[in-house]
Amino acid sequence: MTTLKAILWDVDGTLAETERDGHRIAFNQAFEAMGLLWRWDEAYYGHLLNITGGRERLRADMAQRPDAPPTAAERDALVEELHRRKTAIYTTLVRETGIPLRPGVRELIDEARDAGLRQAVTTTTSRANVDALLGLHFGPGWREVFEVAVCGEDVAKKKPDPEVFLRALQALDLNPLQAVAIEDSPGGVAAALAAEVPVVVPRSAYFANATIEGAIAIGPGLHTREGWRPALAGSTGGPVTLDDLQAWHQEMDSVSQFG
């Protein structure tokens, strides 16, 4: 039986509902700041989330806009400027509005830290975005909580490519089955599974009904013990605990690809 030694945390949608409450708003403010009449409503942004990466979403959106720049070079230049402005707006928005962690997240992070489990960030969002969110909630010393942080600038290919997980595992010097990834999206789950890392999925607002296969557990959020598959044993009150995570990890042979 493999012992669980690390938790690999996705950021957007997993640690906090940053997609809905942060990134989308920041993109719209960047459009406005540049005099563009483009706006991404909640439904359309949910559609764009099937594409990983802010720049990649901008390029996909421009590809079907008649008022987008006509040449690839002009579009690339606009993407870079929009993304630069959006990142600046987003980091300010996080600090000023205090986007909260999802319920149950802080409790599990603290419990894992107290138990001596190693923790890492495995995301394809930018390092500035990660620093803004984690700095808000854990202070400037957030690296003492998450000893490894693999961000968008650190990889050549973004999720669903497994590179982000392979780099994190290498930095932690662990094999995949010694870790559990916590992800909310199909792309994130696919990336973890491609790296052979078991995945737990607390569903997020944008992926509440997405088809997700191969996870060792899937449920409505870390704040509740109700509604998880496989069902949690013991008391029905309170959040998901480290014991629950370890139990799912031990049972992974029977519920996923890890048999």
Q: How far is CA 156 from the centre of its chain?
A: 17
Coil, strand or helix at 226? coil
At 230 the three-state DSSP class reads: coil
* CA-to-CA separations, 244 to 204, 226, 230, in angstroms, rounded: 19, 12, 10
Say whether 76 is catalytic.
no
CA distances to 52, 71, 82, 106, 143 from 172, rounded to whole Å, are 24, 43, 34, 22, 14
Rounded to 5 degrees, φ, ψ at 79 are -60, -45
Active site residue 21: no
DSSP class of 23: I
Beta-ladder partners of 218: 201, 229
Active-site residue among 12, 61, 184, 244? 12
Residue among 10, 61, 161, 184 flagged as catalytic: 10
* Residues belonging to the active site: 10, 12
